[in-house]
Amino acid sequence: MLLKIVKASAFVALAACTLSANSFNAQAEKDKTELIKYFEAKFADPEKNAATFFPYSTEDELKNNIKKDIKHMDFGIGNYAFNRAGIATYEEIKEMPPYEDAIDAGAALYEKKFANGNSLAICFPDPTIGGDYPMFDESRKEVVSLTQAVNECITSNGEKKWNEKKGDMAKFQAFIANSTKEAEKKVNVKIESAEAAAAYERGKEFYYTQRGYLNLSCATCHVQGAAQRVRNESLSQLLGHTTHFPVYRLKWQGLGTLERRMEGCVKDQGQNPPKPSSKTMKELLYFMAYMSNGMAVDGPDIRK
């Protein structure tokens, strides 16, 4: 009898859990579906759809440089998804990727013992979790980024925390991204409570809010503006933006985390960037990662 009750209540708990998981992410799922639809429509035939989607691009650009018929999963490689001019150089560099050593160094950091005998491998027994972050920690009721989780592991073992933008942090994340890629896993960010949904909404609001003296939002450049030229850059699309970090940037002559990349973009917007592990930054990344849910993790990567 007791067993029966336990079983029945376990079943109820499970059902309630699935039910709420489905409903708390309903808005995010709707947003993601709309975003995919938007970008697939935009890049179905840029030349034909110029008036609707590319009012600022030249005819030559649309005819000769922007690829058409791009589908959801193709968007994971940033502006190389559509930008013919950039693809050749990109593929050339990828033949001798400058981040290979960083992956090896990251693997060594994973195993390396702290003074107390523990290691990152003990905090992260499964290194193929690159697609699960940022995650909403239901007991702490806050978004936890991979960067934060790594530093919490280190400091809780009595070590000094790492720079959140480069160095060992970027190397370790290169190892995590690569392990996740080799396991063929996808971005898999979850929204399973009202608090998680609220964090997602705040991240989304940050993304779409116009700010700075130029009155730009992230979306001005990376949704409506995607494929538009800014100086000698082609603006990439929000869809797939978090799949490939950390990246080796030619400009940096080194590897950097997603937080490091964010800093440059927010500054370009004429704003002071939120700190890498601030609530604002983590919720922004949570929203962005959700938009990439279901896409392959394929970091580390290279960028100009």
CA distance 215 to 135: 30
Cis peptide before 134 (omega within 30 of 0): yes
CA distance 80 to 87: 5
Strand pairing category for 233-234 and 229-230? antiparallel
167 SS3 class: coil
Cβ nearer to ligand HEC, comparing 103 with 218 = 218
Cβ nearer to ligand HEC, comparing 121 with 216 = 216
Cβ nearer to ligand HEC, comparing 204 with 261 = 261
Catalytic status, residue 265? yes
Say how many C-beta atoms besides its own lie within 10 A of residue 65's C-beta: 18
Q: What is the 3-state secondary structure (H, E, C) of 23-43?
A: HHCHHHHHHHHHHHHHHHHHC
Cβ nearer to ligand HEC, comparing 124 with 299 = 299
Q: Which of 260, 242, 243 is nearest to 251 (CA)?
A: 260
CA distance 48 to 71: 17
Q: How far is the CB of 62 from ligand HEC (least distance, A)?
A: 18
The string of DSSP letters for 77-116 reads: GGGGGTBHHHHHHHHHHHHS-TTHHHHHHHHHHHHPBPTT
Contacts with ligand HEC, residue ranges (CB under 6 A): 78-79, 216, 218, 220-222, 230, 233, 235-236, 241, 247, 261-262, 265-266, 268-269, 303
Cβ nearer to ligand HEC, comparing 79 with 153 = 79
CA distance 202 to 283: 7
* Helices of type H across 113-257: 120-123, 146-156, 168-182, 194-208, 218-219
CA distance 77 to 90: 10
Say how many C-beta atoms besides its own lie within 10 A of residue 264's C-beta: 14
- Tell me the sheet residues that pair with 302: 248
Catalytic residue positions, numbered: 265
